[in-house]
Amino acid sequence: MKRILVTGALGQIGSELVTKLRDIYGSSNVIATDIKELPGVKEQGPFEKLDVTDPQRMFDVAKEYNVDTVMHLAALLSATAEKMPKVAWDINMGGLVNALEVARELDLQFFTPSSIGAFGPSTPKDNTPQDTLQRPTTMYGVNKVSGELLCDYYYHRYGVDTRGVRYPGLISYVAPPGGGTTDYAVEIYYEAIKNKSYTSYIGEGTYMDMMYMPDALNAIVQLMEADADKLEHRNAFNISAISAAPEDFAKAIQKHIPEFSISYEVDPVRQKIADSWPNSIDSSAATKEWGFKADYDIDAMTKEMLEKIAEKVK
């Protein structure tokens, strides 16, 4: 992995991933692309406007920059996808198959994230195994299971070096989350700093897996650098750091802001999605096959989130 094309690079993960990859592999070796463009983005390193539903443009950009790796992040997330399922299908599956085709044609290493959304109501909820029932009931989940299978297919059928993880909800202070079910776990920190209170759209007692962004980014680099011979579960490694409900975030915040309070106004659409996902997933296959380990628990993450957001909103 020396020259990397990143799709959806201006989103929650991409904004931080591109910086990390440029620190490791050099600025000119990381080509950020997105359907949108933000001011100043071109000054930080190579950037191209790219809609992933346009296969020819994706091929041309990959060829022009002579990349050896694609990290495909462009997608519509769970809550947004549920509002416009057909558009989500077109972007999530159309974009993925286009990116896989570019990887096949140009012989590129390939990474794309799956999600805990790839599980469904019939999946065992606690310590969810690596290999288990996957019958998701959301369009996002359908896309993610199909994506895991499609990536496996490109590996077995064409030998494309595809790799991926099932991310839990990701928490960061850098870029805003993009319309997922776990976005509350970012909002709660901003509201704690601004108003010392938060009204959660996810109900009390609803456990979901979460992870702090630095652990999520390390996982990508580690998995992509891992010895291919050791990877059995190439495209769908369960990884997690924290299993938490809204009240757990409130308690962790109260250690720093004792007057912080939480109330609940449950959004039925996002609650239904959350109820269909696991409470906690088992990451042992990732640990065994490529050494995955998360550094941040909820307390370490909370301390840093509150410090960084306080500086940001000053």
Ligand X SMILES: NC(=O)c1ccc[n+]([C@@H]2O[C@H](COP(=O)([O-])OP(=O)(O)OC[C@H]3O[C@@H](n4cnc5c(N)ncnc54)[C@H](O)[C@@H]3O)[C@@H](O)[C@H]2O)c1
Active site residues: 140
Minimum distance between the CB of residue 65 and ligand X, rounded to whole angstroms? 16
Minimum distance between the CB of residue 174 and ligand X, rounded to whole angstroms? 11
Q: In the complex with ligand X, which residue's Cβ is closer, 12 or 109?
A: 12
Q: In the complex with ligand X, which residue's Cβ is closer, 186 or 285?
A: 186
Q: In the complex with ligand X, which residue's Cβ is closer, 256 or 308?
A: 308
Place of tokens 């085709």: 101
Minimum distance between the CB of residue 7 and ligand X, rounded to whole angstroms? 6
Binding site for ligand X (CB under 6 A): 7-8, 10-14, 34-36, 50-53, 73-75, 77, 91, 95, 113, 115, 167, 169-170, 177-178, 180, 182
Q: In the complex with ligand X, which residue's Cβ is closer, 59 or 256?
A: 59
Minimum distance between the CB of residue 204 and ligand X, rounded to whole angstroms? 21
Task: DSSP for the chain, please give it.
Answer: --SEEEESTTSHHHHHHHHHHHHHH-GGGEEEEESS--TTGGGGS-EEE--TT-HHHHHHHHHHTT-SEEEE-----HHHHHHSHHHHHIIIIIHHHHHHHHHHHHT-EEE--EEGGG--TTS--SSB-SS------SHHHHHHHHHHHHHHHHHHHH---EE-EEE-EEE-SSS---S-TTTHHHHHHHHHHHHSEEEESS-TT--EEEEEHHHHHHHHHHHHHS-GGG-SSTT-EE--SEEE-HHHHHHHHHTT-TT-EEEE---HHHHHHHHTS-S-B--HHHHHHH-------HHHHHHHHHHHHHHHT-
Q: In the complex with ligand X, which residue's Cβ is closer, 180 or 203?
A: 180
What the block records as the tokens of 273 is 């999605």
* d(C-alpha 233, C-alpha 209), whole Å: 20
Residue nearest ligand X, CB atom distance: 11
Minimum distance between the CB of residue 170 and ligand X, rounded to whole angstroms? 4
